[in-house]
């Protein structure tokens, strides 16, 4: 019997390694960016085409490589970062495994152009599927340029598993932002299909956050700063009032490397106890500087997970640091423009004798005379004791007996409810706490959640618009440009056809900007940005659902965002119209999210509570 165990060919071994290191274009970008940083670059440029599937190029101004080093970097386990086993416990560089370039070259067409400052010419190397195609001298600027073309060209099964261009671009932006946030001292730029997405100049950490996510983040952040013998913590936590429904901007950087750590996240969330609404998540950008010998970064192929030597102490320090920062924010002194004036001692001239305060009394004041002004600013007539009988004047003329109701008109809110509501007088409709609608008919009450009802009405209206004629748009006299983060811009671009059918007349305008030319008819002007941001937030929270059924999810999200809010006063006529609209819906019982809309209560049910 022949031997059955043999060594894998290098090309196959590299493809297996690539499966661990490179899952998608964003994975390749991460490895190339880390190499550029380790080369001492101060300026890094990223160019992608077709969401990185056609081209992924990283250009840096780092130290470059010699011809020998350029060829060696494509060999497996070839690295300049470690020379002996002990070096694994003192790693401060980004890359060190020596698998990235070999893995990328095994599944793509790679062109490397590099030059050191002291060399007159550089070198160009082309590799396709781990096979060297050419190696020659070339004229190129100082630094390194790596072009990765046609990723997974020789592994079609892997390429078929890639998501849509929008989804893959989102992953690329995530990786780019993680690296850019960790290294604010480096300039970064990113171009997608010829359009500039990011142009980040070297800055401090706070300015880098604002440049990546928008200038509004400047006012949302609370600084963190804690120095201990175990580790140093710096960075920023988001103020509780800006928490979101999704785990959006949550970043941990350990020795300037982005990591995911559920244990540390739990510590941060613990610091926000009793400060956040249910199911809300704060933003944070936390940098941890720790002795490399106290951590192990070699437990995951992509180096996004690490292990701490003393997890409990780090957990306690992290929670205390965030809680202390939030405490300082809460007690921060502010200018008091409503200061109590009685404590202000007036200035007097030198030698002037202070005057004794005097009290002046109006002896003619009569609190029961003529009219008074209430605390609400309305003039009310003062009723004297001898005039109290006027309060009852006309009561005997009121007909408080309800007219007999014919049996076929006895309300049934499940059968022909819309017809019955249409026949009711407006006096049968009222509002409770500006939140619930109350409809009274004979011996039954109908209690409606006004927000849920309006949400249901809008949802069915939007679904009808998708399946037939788009809704009318109310044109703005002055079109309003709104700039989004690159990530939010991509999300809105995906939903643009559906949003336009809802009555939003939006059009792309330059870098990460949409111009709003019109809004849905009936929508209150000035809420355009809030509504679109709510829609994007819903998309981010349910990405898979949106992409599987975009029409339904956009309709649900917009109906939730545009529905009238609790606390909105409605007149009897408006209450009747909303109730009528609700019961002409196909399914008036529940909102699109499954929340009940109304319930009924009979007189007999009320009477039982008093027996």
3-state secondary structure 390-435: HHHCCHHHCCCCCCCCCHHHCCCCCCCHHHHHHHCCHHHEEEECCC
Q: Give residue 89's pLDDT band: very low, low, confident or very high (50, 70, 90).
A: low
CA atoms within 13 A on the CB side of 384: 8
Q: Give residue 360's pLDDT band: very low, low, confident or very high (50, 70, 90).
A: low
What does the pLDDT average to over 166-193? 93
pLDDT of residue 483: 85
Q: Give residue 13's pLDDT band: very low, low, confident or very high (50, 70, 90).
A: low
Q: Can you list the domains of the chain with their CATH numbers?
A: 10-202 (3.30.565.10), 207-330 (3.30.230.10), 410-611 (3.30.1370.100)
Chain CA centroid to CA 242, Å = 10
DSSP letter, residue 386? G
78 has pLDDT over 60: yes
Rounded to 5 degrees, what are φ and ψ at 293?
-70, -10
**pLDDT tens digits, residue range 524-557?**
777 888 888 888 888 887 777 787 788 888 888 8
288 has pLDDT over 90: yes
What does the pLDDT average to over 165-187? 93
pLDDT of residue 388: 41
What are the DSSP E strand ranges found in 484-565? Answer: 505-508, 513-520
268 has pLDDT over 50: yes
The whole-angstrom separation of Cα 503 and Cα 523 is: 10
212: closest CA among 242, 189, 236?
Answer: 189
3-state secondary structure 326-362: HHHHHCCCCCCCCCCHHHCCCCCCCCCCCCCCCCCCC
Cα separations in angstroms, 355 against 118, 349, 351, 352, 437 = 86, 12, 12, 9, 62
CA atoms within 13 A on the CB side of 52: 30
**pLDDT tens digits, residue range 397-443?**
444 444 443 333 344 444 467 777 888 888 888 898 889 999 887 77
11 has pLDDT over 70: no
Q: Among 7-11, 56-60, 209-213, 457-461, which stretch is predicted with the lowest mean pLDDT?
A: 7-11
The whole-angstrom separation of Cα 380 and Cα 84 is: 90
Q: Among 159-168, 223-232, 273-282, 595-604, which stretch is predicted with the lowest mean pLDDT?
A: 273-282
343 has pLDDT over 50: no
**pLDDT tens digits, residue range 19-72?**
667 889 999 999 999 999 989 999 999 999 999 999 999 999 999 999 988 998
- The residue with tokens 């982005």 is 258
């Amino acid at each position: 019997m022949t031997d059955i165990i043999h060594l894998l060919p290098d090309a196959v071994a590299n493809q297996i390694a690539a499966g661990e290191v490179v899952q998608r274009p964003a994975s390749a970008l991460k490895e190339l960016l880390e190499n550029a940083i380790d080369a001492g670059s101060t300026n890094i440029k990223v160019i992608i085409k077709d969401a990185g599937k056609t081209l992924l190029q990283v250009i840096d101004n780092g130290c470059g490589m010699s011809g020998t080093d350029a060829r060696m970097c494509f060999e497996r386990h070839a690295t300049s970062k470690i020379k002996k086993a002990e070096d694994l416990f003192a790693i401060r560089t980004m890359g060190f495994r020596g698998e990235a370039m070999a893995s990328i070259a095994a599944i793509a067409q790679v062109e490397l152009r590099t030059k050191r400052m002291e060399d007159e010419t550089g070198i160009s190397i082309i590799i396709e599927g781990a096979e060297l195609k050419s190696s020659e001298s070339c004229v190129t600027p100082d630094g390194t340029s790596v072009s990765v073309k046609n990723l997974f060209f020789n592994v079609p099964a892997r390429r078929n598993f890639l998501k849509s261009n929008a989804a893959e671009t989102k992953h690329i932006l995530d990786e780019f932002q993680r690296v850019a946030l960790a290294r604010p001292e480096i300039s970064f730029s990113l171009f997608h299909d010829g359009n500039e997405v990011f142009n980040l100049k070297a800055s401090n950490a706070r300015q880098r956050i604002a440049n990546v996510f928008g200038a509004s983040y400047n006012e949302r952040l609370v600084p963190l700063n804690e120095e201990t013998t175990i580790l140093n913590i710096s960075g920023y936590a988001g103020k509780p009032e800006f928490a979101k429904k999704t785990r959006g901007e949550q970043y941990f950087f350990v020795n300037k490397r982005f990591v995911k750590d559920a244990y540390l996240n739990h510590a941060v969330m613990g610091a926000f106890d009793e400060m956040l609404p249910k199911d809300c998540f704060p933003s944070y950008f936390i940098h941890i500087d720790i002795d490399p010998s106290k951590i192990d970064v070699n437990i995951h192929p992509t180096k996004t997970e690490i292990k701490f030597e003393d997890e409990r102490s780090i957990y306690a320090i992290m929670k205390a640091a965030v809680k202390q920062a939030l405490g300082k924010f809460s007690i921060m002194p502010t200018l008091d423009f409503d200061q109590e004036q009685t404590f202000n001692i007036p200035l007097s001239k030198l030698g002037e004798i202070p005057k004794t305060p005097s009290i002046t009394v109006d002896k003619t004041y009569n609190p029961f005379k003529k009219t008074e002004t209430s605390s609400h600013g309305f003039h009310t007539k003062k009723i004297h004791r001898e005039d109290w009988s006027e309060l009852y004047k006309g009561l005997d003329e009121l007909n408080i007996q309800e007219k007999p109701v014919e049996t076929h008109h006895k309300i049934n809110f499940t059968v022909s409810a819309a017809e019955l509501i249409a026949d009711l007088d407006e006096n049968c409709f009222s509002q409770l706490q500006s939140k619930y609608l109350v409809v009274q008919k004979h011996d039954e009450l109908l209690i409606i959640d006004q927000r849920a009802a309006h949400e249901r009405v809008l949802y069915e209206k939007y679904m009808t618009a998708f399946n037939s004629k788009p809704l009318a748009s109310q044109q703005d006299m002055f079109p309003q440009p709104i700039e989004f983060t690159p990530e939010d811009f991509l999300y809105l671009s995906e939903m643009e056809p559906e949003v336009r059918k809802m009555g939003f007349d939006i059009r792309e305008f330059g870098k990460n900007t949409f111009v709003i030319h019109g809004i849905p008819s009936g929508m209150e002007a000035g809420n355009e940005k809030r509504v679109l941001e709510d829609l994007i937030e819903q998309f981010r929270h349910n990405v898979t659902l949106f992409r599987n059924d975009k029409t339904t999810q956009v309709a649900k999200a917009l109906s939730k965002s545009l529905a009238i809010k609790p606390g909105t006063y409605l007149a009897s006529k408006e209450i009747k119209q909303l109730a009528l609209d609700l019961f002409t819906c196909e399914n008036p019982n529940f909102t699109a999210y499954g929340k009940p809309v109304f319930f009924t209560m009979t007189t007999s049910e009320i009477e039982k509570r008093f027996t």
